[in-house]
Structures are given as structure tokens and as C-alpha cells.
Amino acid sequence: MTDTFSTRTIDVTTGSSETVHDLTDACMSFLREVALARDGLLNVFTPHATAGLALIETGAGSDADLLAALHQLLPADNRWQHRHGSPGHGRDHVLPAIVPPHATLPVIGGALQLGTWQSVVLVDTNKDNPDRQVRLSFLG
């Protein structure tokens, strides 16, 4: 069997507030179309200097906890040298060093192998850019 590479870019609107946007369903839908019961790897990448990807539990408060923790680590104030955009926007440019813009995940039998409570999420603290892209790539 030869390796197959498939890729797709999805558009995500995050709005005008900080958000943790769940991408898990989009990832699983993509794999249903392209993985065809094969083993491989799913790479998730966002080509933005102010957004990242994480694996966390959603819906039980962890998404709000993540944003609160980022506020503690990266306050939205005037300490940042990068100063265009909203007040404190420089912190958004530091975010990808803490929440990276990529994740590579195992796929077995065409199914994404996440833990029971794990979800794939886009983390976006940049209120100035509500339109994001995420590239999903499967190699299997």
C-alpha cells in the first residue's frame, strides 16, 4: 500500500472575543472522507502569528480556565513592545510560543485517536482578527 497525502483548509470565524474553538468534529469529518480506514497521522496547522492549537477537555470549564491561565501568563496590558492593534495585542504574538500553531495526531483505522476527554481546539486571543484558517493534512 502506498502512502497517501490529503489536505484541506477550513475557515473558522472566532468573532470579536477571545475564544477556544472546538475543531474535533471538523477533524473527524475530514478523516472520514480521506483516511478510508487507514493508519496514519493528522497534522493540524493554523497559519497565524496570533493563534494556536491545543488538546484539552471542552465544555466542562477547561476552555475558560485556559483563557484565564493565558491572561495570567500573558496580560493584555501595555508591557509589550509589539503595540499595534487593540491594547495588549503584543501578547497575542507571544501566544504561539506557549500554545503552538500545530499538532500532529495519530490516526488508527481511519479514526482520530484522542483520549476520552480530549478535543482539538483553536485558541485565539486576538480580538482584531475574527477570520482564521486551519489546514488539516492526513498522511497515511
CB 52 within 8 A of CB 101: yes
Q: What is the mean pLDDT of the chain?
A: 95
Q: Give pLDDT, residue 2.
A: 62
Distance CA 136, CA 34 (A): 11
Identify the pLDDT of residue 130. 93
Q: Which option is the CATH number for 5-139: 2.60.120.10, 3.40.980.10, 3.40.50.12500, 2.60.120.460? A: 2.60.120.460
Q: Whole-model pTM? A: 0.94
